């Protein structure tokens, strides 16, 4: 097969997007309601008792962290389930034998997952505007971080979907790894508030750099330098691309 199969990419992409519309309650409504509850609990109940952080009211300070939290989990869920379900039903062999290459398969599945997650992130951002006054100092960077993060974690979810041998494994890494790292990555606080020892330990958490960069795009300040945030985001993206390339090259859990 030669050339780029745009029709094949569009067919898979459209199917995945249609699946999101069929489960709109789970895909859109539930995360928005959860975010609203976060603002009620953290923004109103707790935020009213806290001072500003880096000159930003606490309710507004947690907005980037909440968006990142939803972006991480939804990107992984959408992409992992999207590729795992064909494995589970056996239709993965039809996809692999179709006139679409590995690049086109990844582009379609990851593109659909990233699109859904990015749209959800923007909806959560709009929801947050009803609860707290928002300012976005660097809107282009905000969208850049949003798209890069959604793409990166969709790739990560795609890897999990190929690796998983059951629904338990499909949910294990997001629940046991990503969510704790997100909560410990400065979603609801600045790591400068931690004791020096714990702050040093936290800097080894890659999620810190993603959340910090995204928060910088809003308020012009973050827990780490913007250069480090950009470097960490691209580093994670390249690492995921490398693993996906290896999986298709070796046929890892795809052809057996």
DSSP string, 185-201: TTSSS-GGGS-HHHHHH
* C-alpha separations of 11 from 65, 113, 206 in Å: 34, 14, 34
Instruction: Please enumerate in sequence order all residues whose Cβ is within 8 A of that of 217, keeping only pairs 6 or more positions apart, or say none.
Output: 64, 136, 137, 138, 139, 141, 142, 144, 145
Question: Which residues are 53's β-sheet partners?
Answer: 56
Q: Are 191 and 173 in contact (CB under 8 A)?
A: no
- Tens-digit pLDDT profile for the chain (256 aa)? 457 899 999 999 999 998 877 777 777 777 778 777 877 777 666 666 777 888 888 888 889 998 998 899 889 999 999 999 998 888 888 898 888 999 999 999 999 999 999 999 998 898 888 888 888 999 999 999 999 999 999 999 999 999 998 888 888 888 888 888 888 888 888 998 888 898 999 999 999 999 999 999 999 999 999 999 999 999 999 999 999 999 999 989 887 6
Phi, psi of 187 (to 5 degrees): -65, -40
Can you read off the two tokens belonging to residue 88?
Answer: 């589970």
* Pairwise CA distance, residues 170 & 234, whole Å: 25
First to last CA, the chain: 23
* Pairwise CA distance, residues 163 & 247, whole Å: 9
Which pTM does this prediction carry? 0.91
Cα dihedral: 66, 70, 76, 77 (round 10): 150
């Amino acid at each position: 097969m030669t050339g780029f199969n745009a029709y094949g990419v569009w067919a898979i992409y459209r199917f995945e997007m249609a699946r999101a519309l069929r489960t709109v309650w789970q895909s859109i409504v539930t995360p928005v309601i959860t975010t609203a509850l976060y603002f009620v609990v953290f923004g109103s109940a707790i935020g009213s008792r806290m001072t500003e952080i880096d000159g930003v009211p606490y309710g507004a300070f947690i907005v980037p962290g909440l968006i990142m939290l939803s972006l991480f989990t939804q990107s992984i869920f959408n992409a992992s389930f999207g590729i795992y379900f064909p494995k589970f039903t056996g239709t993965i062999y039809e996809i692999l034998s179709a006139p679409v290459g590995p690049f086109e398969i990844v582009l379609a599945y990851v593109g659909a997952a990233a699109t859904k997650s990015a749209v959800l992130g923007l909806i959560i951002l709009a929801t947050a505007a009803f609860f707290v006054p928002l300012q976005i100092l660097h809107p282009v960077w905000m969208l850049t971080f949003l798209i890069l993060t959604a793409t990166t974690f969709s790739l990560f979810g795609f890897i999990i979907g190929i690796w998983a041998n059951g629904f338990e494994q499909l949910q294990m890494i997001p629940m046991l790894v990503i969510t704790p790292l997100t909560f410990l990555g400065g979603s609801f606080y600045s790591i400068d508030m931690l004791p020096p020892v714990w702050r040093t330990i936290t800097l080894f958490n890659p999620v810190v750099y993603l959340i910090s960069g995204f928060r910088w795009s809003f308020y012009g300040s973050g827990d780490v330098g913007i250069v480090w945030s950009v470097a960490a985001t691209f580093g994670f993206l390249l690492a995921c691309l490398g693993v996906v390339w290896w999986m298709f090259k070796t046929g890892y859990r795809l052809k057996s």
